[in-house]
């Protein structure tokens, strides 16, 4: 029988699993797991006999780094192998002050099929378990040390795997382990209305980002098929509901595609969608992926002039706008590029 991994258990769950061991032993094990150890033998405050017993019954981690690539800008991309042979990717981003952010995946592949995203072109295999989500952060910490922030913006749609993601976030934030502040965790969704309302009602209280890209309904449906079941008016109502419950500013992300969604009318549509919401607009110049496009025409990067015009038009309407600068493109680790390393598997 395959051994069970325990990295995806919350402390109360782990305490129950390890009974009749006393609760303080479970807390010791939980703390060691949060430090990223991969074997029970490394848990030096446990007796040798207990370490051997636990090692015969359980795995500490069930995933492993299979490839690491580093960009000249400091970005590190990890390919992580899962027990069933599938692979996912996680990314470590470094800002100008040296702070590190871990970009975490929640699914093998992605079912959303956004026209501008490499991951969406690969198809979908399955949701990640709580252990597979949790261990990505530990792998990132092993490679790069302290992680300041977590963004759930990797492969997959997080709100379609919310239960396992919730468990992972509970593990990361537990003061008995890493004690990661939930204010430092951001979930990015393509706009799953039911998931946004669930997050508003059930928590946890984390930051929310929505990949809007365009507020033109017809164009958004063409670029992001999720729009068909999650139309823009209902999406906006869900965001209003989220803010009424959690009182947090929401980030609206717009991937800018040269000549596609960078017109004046596109900026005005985003401004109209944002009206009545407490939001910040994050403009993301599209990161090239070969062969991606719509209506027989490949996408191209937006020009600086297009980006500057979008910024100006939105700011003129009183919106706070940030421009995401390209990180990780040299290793296909930038937004929309994940899933490029050899060996990725979706059958």
Task: Supply the DSSP string of 38-51, one letter for each residue.
Answer: -SGGG-TTS-HHHH
Give pLDDT tens digits for 132-162: 999 999 999 999 999 999 999 999 999 999 9
Whose CA is closest to 261, among 13, 179, 175, 252? 252
Average pLDDT across the chain, whole number: 92
Whose CA is closest to 15, among 135, 185, 255, 176? 176
Q: Tell me, what's the pLDDT at 24?
A: 97
Q: Which domains does the chain have, with CATH numbers?
A: 4-59 (1.10.150.530), 64-331 (3.20.20.70)
Q: Answer yes or no: is pLDDT of 336 > 70.
A: no
Give pLDDT tens digits for 285-326: 998 888 899 988 999 999 999 999 999 999 999 999 999 765
Q: Answer yes or no: is pLDDT of 338 > 60.
A: no
Mean pLDDT of 56-65: 96
User: How far out from the chain centre does Cα 119 lie?
Assistant: 12
Quick check: 154 and 168 in contact, CB under 8 A? Answer: no
Task: Supply the DSSP string of 52-68, one letter for each residue.
Answer: HHHHHHEES---EEEEE
Burial zone of 142 (CB within 10 Å; 0-12 exposed, 13-18 middle, 19+ buried): middle
Backbone angles phi, psi at 173, to 5 degrees: -90, -5
Quick check: 157 and 112 in contact, CB under 8 A? Answer: yes
Whose CA is closest to 339, among 266, 279, 277, 289? 289
Would you call 16 a catalytic residue per the annotation?
no
Q: Tell me, what's the pLDDT at 331?
A: 47
Would you call 103 a catalytic residue per the annotation?
no
Catalytic residue among 62, 89, 132, 157: 89
Catalytic residue among 103, 117, 140, 335: 335
* 224 strand-pairing partners: none
Q: Is the pTM of this model over 0.85?
A: yes
First and final CA of the chain: distance in angstroms?
Answer: 25
162-173 vs 193-202: helix crossing angle, rounded to 10: 40
């Amino acid at each position: 029988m395959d051994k069970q991994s325990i990295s995806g258990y919350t402390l109360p769950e782990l305490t129950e699993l390890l009974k009749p061991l006393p609760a303080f032993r479970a807390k010791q094990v939980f703390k060691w797991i949060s430090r990223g150890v991969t074997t029970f033998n490394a848990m030096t405050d446990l007796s040798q006999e207990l370490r051997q017993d636990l090692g015969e019954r359980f795995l500490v981690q069930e995933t492993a780094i299979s490839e690491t690539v580093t960009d000249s800008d400091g970005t590190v991309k990890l390919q992580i192998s899962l027990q069933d042979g599938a692979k996912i990717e996680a990314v470590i981003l470094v800002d100008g002050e040296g702070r590190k952010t871990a970009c975490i995946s929640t699914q093998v592949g992605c079912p959303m099929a956004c026209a501008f995203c490499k991951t969406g072109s690969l198809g979908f295999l399955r949701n990640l378990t709580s252990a597979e989500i949790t261990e990505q952060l530990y792998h990132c910490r092993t490679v790069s040390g302290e992680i300041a922030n977590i963004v759930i913006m990797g492969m997959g749609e997080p709100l379609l795997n919310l239960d396992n993601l919730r468990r992972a976030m509970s593990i990361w934030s537990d003061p008995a382990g890493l004690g990661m502040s939930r204010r430092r965790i951001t979930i990015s969704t393509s706009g799953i209305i039911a998931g946004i309302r669930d997050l508003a009602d059930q928590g946890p209280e984390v930051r929310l980002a929505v990949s809007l890209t365009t507020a033109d309904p017809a164009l958004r449906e063409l670029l992001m098929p999720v729009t068909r079941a999650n139309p823009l008016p209902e999406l906006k109502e869900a965001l209003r509901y989220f803010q009424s419950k959690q009182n947090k500013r929401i980030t609206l992300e717009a991937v800018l595609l040269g000549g596609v969604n960078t017109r004046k009318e596109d900026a005005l549509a985003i401004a109209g969608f944002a009206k009545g919401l407490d939001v910040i607009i994050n403009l993301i110049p599209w990161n090239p992926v070969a062969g991606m496009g719509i209506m027989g025409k490949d996408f191209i990067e937006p020009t600086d002039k297009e980006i500057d015009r979008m910024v100006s038009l939105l700011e003129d309407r009183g919106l706070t706008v940030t421009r995401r600068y390209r990180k990780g493109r040299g290793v296909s680790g930038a937004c929309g590029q994940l899933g490029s390393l050899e060996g990725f598997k979706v059958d």
